[in-house]
Structure 1
Amino acid sequence: MRAALLQMTSGIDPAANAATITAAIAEAKAGGAAMLFTPEMSGLLDRDRDRAAGSLFREEEDRVLAAVREAAAKHGLWVHLGSLAVLRGADEDGAGKLANRGFVIDGSGEIRARYDKMHLFDVDLASGESWRELASYAPGERAVIVETPLGMLGLAICYDLRFPDLFRTLSDAGATLLAVPAAFTRLTGAAHWHVLLRARAIEAAAFVLAAAQTGEHEDGRATYGHSLAIDPWGKVLLDMGAPAGLGFAEIEPSRLEMARSRVPVLQHRRAIPPIAAS
């Protein structure tokens, strides 16, 4: 089975970003992929809140989501749309804020699963960059897995990568693949991206598919790239480096069976009781 990963330099125009994704859907299908994975914030990457406001919609009105669903149905290809910024409705917790929401879309264009990023990035970096996701976004409240042509897929987004309890929950629930779409900064990417993704694959004995943003963006930020596919033994199957584009990785079930038989970590997990006060 083949997975396709789209490495993007998303900008401030959702229509242009949608065109990039829909072209990749056609290319991924032609390349024999069963499923395409796109990065975090595939539809819009703009930290100018006033400018971005005119491009933010509720899920049912989002034009990028509609275009991706249409293209998925046209080409009969499953798509993990890494995430979009969507307005939360009045019936959702955190109404009035945004959700950083990923979507799994099947080959008929139907949405099979949604996941809202649970861990939000609020930090001042030594580089001078400052990120305040909690000012605009409401965190998700639940972990999500979904059956796909590649296997049972557990969903995460970017900063979630640093919280292994989420990935333990996903693998305990039966995930054999983990999706980690991201827009890592260059500073944190160079230091932690590869090692954290390989660790999550090894700990969960699962494939990891991490489609990433890359390059210099219209809003002034710079992202790390290096979209990765990693097998359950921690072997890097694909590293896309810095250029934007489409890459492919083979997802072989035998690699899963090999890793889980050699080191049966899932069978040996134990619930850890609270630490007793001394």
Structure 2
Amino acid sequence: MSTVAAVQMISTPDVAENIATARRLVRDAAARGATLVTLPEYWPIMGMSDTDKVAHAEAPGQGPIQECMAQAAREHGIWLIGGTLPLVSPDAGRVMNTTLVYDPQGRPVHRYDKIHLFGFTRGAESYDEARTIVPGEAVVTFEAPFGRVGLSVCYDLRFPELYRAMGECALMVVTAAFTHTTGLAHWEVLLRARAIENQCYVLASAQGGTHQNGRRTFGHSMLIDPWGEVKAVLEEGEGIVSGALDPAFLAEVRESLPALKHRKL
């Protein structure tokens, strides 16, 4: 069995402070035996305004955020899924909201650019990621030692066709900064649905608390098994959730209820 871990943070506008926090929490996750660790969405910066991240956008392969992730993966000999960071885009006023995957040698081996951009308005609460982010286009999976891993980010969770397009994964990863309003209503039920319908483990890494900009994120980072049972959860605050992936249990679920083989569409 392989141990995986999700880091939960309450990121600030200070990139250096967030890097120090991420280093510490990844180290703690590795000390628990995790061979794959994921960071949450927007872990390097939750600015006072949405445009703050544009000033911190890095070019691929350059910059302190990517150096931090590469060093952490190499130092601890882990697969590191780097939540999201702002990468430069063809539009000077917007960035790509990008997940980079590092192998245990610290090499960036996979990249996923968030496809679905969050928009929500209720009363005084309003979000429109398209103002500062360019959407990605491609579904991304990769092979880890324990099986295929699918990558997704936050609002992607509401689009089950994305997860179907990943194929048969052992693990699907969701990095997020779900708002408290939408998280309270939908976060766990959506995560459990993705695990149940795809008969795989789901590892969700979230922002979890009240940020300096006043935004409150829902937290509840968790690991869910292929039967839809929540195996570990951290409600709020920074920290780690971890647990084991059991390939025998995954195979048992798919054998006893072969829904993936029964698909017609």
Distance 2:61 2:122 in 1: 35
Task: Please state how far the C-alpha of 1:194 moved relative to its aligned partner.
Answer: 0.6
Question: Is the contact between residue 13 and residue 48 of structure 2 (CA under 8 Å) also seen in structure 1?
Answer: no
Q: Which among 127, 131, 155 is matched to residue 131 of structure 1?
A: 127
Give the match for residue 8 of structure 2. Answer: 7
1:103 aligns with 2:103: no
Following the alignment from structure 1 to structure 2, what is the Cα–Cα distance between the partners of residues 123 and 205? 30
In the alignment, the residues of structure 2 paired with residue 169 and residue 221 of structure 1 have an alpha-carbon distance, to the nearest angstrom, of 32
Aligned-pair CA distance for 1:247: 2.1
CA distance in 2, matches of 1:266, 1:112: 28
Answering whether residue 111 of structure 2 is matched by residue 117 of structure 1, we say no
CA–CA distance in 2 between the matches of 1:51 and 1:104? Answer: 24
- Tell me, in whole angstroms, the C-alpha distance in 2 between the residues paired with 1:108 and 1:20: 22
Q: Name the larger-Rg structure.
A: 1
Structure 1 residues 235, 60: closer, same or farther in 2, change over 3 A? same
Q: Give the deviation of 1:255 after TM superposition.
A: 1.9
Contact (CA 8 Å) 1:62, 1:86: kept in 2 or not? no
How big is each residue's C-alpha offset from its partner over 1:16-55, in whole Å with a ceiling of 9 and x where there is no partner?
Answer: 1111111222222221111111111111111514544432
The alpha-carbon deviation at position 75 of structure 1 amounts to 1.7
Q: Is the 8 A contact 2:8 2:238 kept in 1?
A: yes
Matched, 1:75 2:76: yes
Q: Deviations over 1:81-100 (max 9, x none)?
A: 11112212x4xxx5652111
Work out whether residues 145 and 153 of structure 1, in 8 Å CA contact, stay in contact via their aligned partners in 2.
yes
**Alignment match, 1:254:** 248
Displaced runs of 4 or more, over 3 A: 49-54
Distance 2:50 2:221 in 1: 27
Correspondence for 1:264 among 242, 258, 261 = 258
2:256 & 2:4 partners in 1: Cα distance? Answer: 25
Q: Check conservation: 2:118, 2:130, Cα contact below 8 A.
A: yes
Pairing 1:203–2:197 present: yes
2:88 match: 87
SS state of the match for residue 215, structure 1?
Answer: coil
Query: How far apart are the structure 2 equivalents of 1:183 and 1:51?
Result: 16
Amino acid at match of 2:36: M
> What does residue 61 of structure 1 align with?
62
1:38 paired with 2:56, answer no
SS state of the match for residue 175, structure 2? coil
Q: Residue 141 of structure 1 corresponds to which residue in structure 2?
A: 137
CA 1:50–1:34 in structure 2 vs 1: closer, same or farther (change >3 Å)? closer
Residue identity matched to 1:188:
T
Paired residue secondary structure (1:217): coil
Contact 2:47 2:53 in 1 (8 A): yes
**Runs of 5+ consecutive residues of structure 2 not aligned to the other structure:** none
Of 7-16 and 59-68, more deviation after overlay is shown by 59-68
Identity %, equivalent residues: 39
- Equivalent position SS for 2:74: helix
Partner SS, residue 209 of structure 2 = strand
Cα gap change, 1:150 to 1:11, in 2 (>3 Å)? farther
Q: Tell me the alpha carbon deviations over residues 170-202 of structure 1, each in whole angstroms, 9 at most, x when there is no partner.
A: 1x2x32210001101111111101100000000
**What amino acid does structure 2 have at the position aligned with 1:64?**
I
**Deviation by residue 1:203-235 (Cα, 9 ceiling, x = unmatched):** 001110000001011121110010010001101
Pair 1:188 & 2:187 matched: no
Aligned partner of 1:276 in structure 2 is none
> Matched residues in 2 for 1:222 and 1:56: separation?
23
Residue 20 of structure 2 is matched in structure 1 by: 19
Distance 1:30 1:244 in 2: 17
Whole-angstrom distance in 2 between the partners of 1:114 and 1:95: 20
Retained in 2: the 8 A contact 1:34–1:149? no
TM-score (norm 2): 0.95
Instruction: Write the distance in 1 (CA, Å) between the matches of 2:256 and 2:204.
Output: 25
Residue 2 of structure 1: how far off its partner (Å): 0.6
Q: CA deviation at 1:249?
A: 1.0
Aligned length: 264
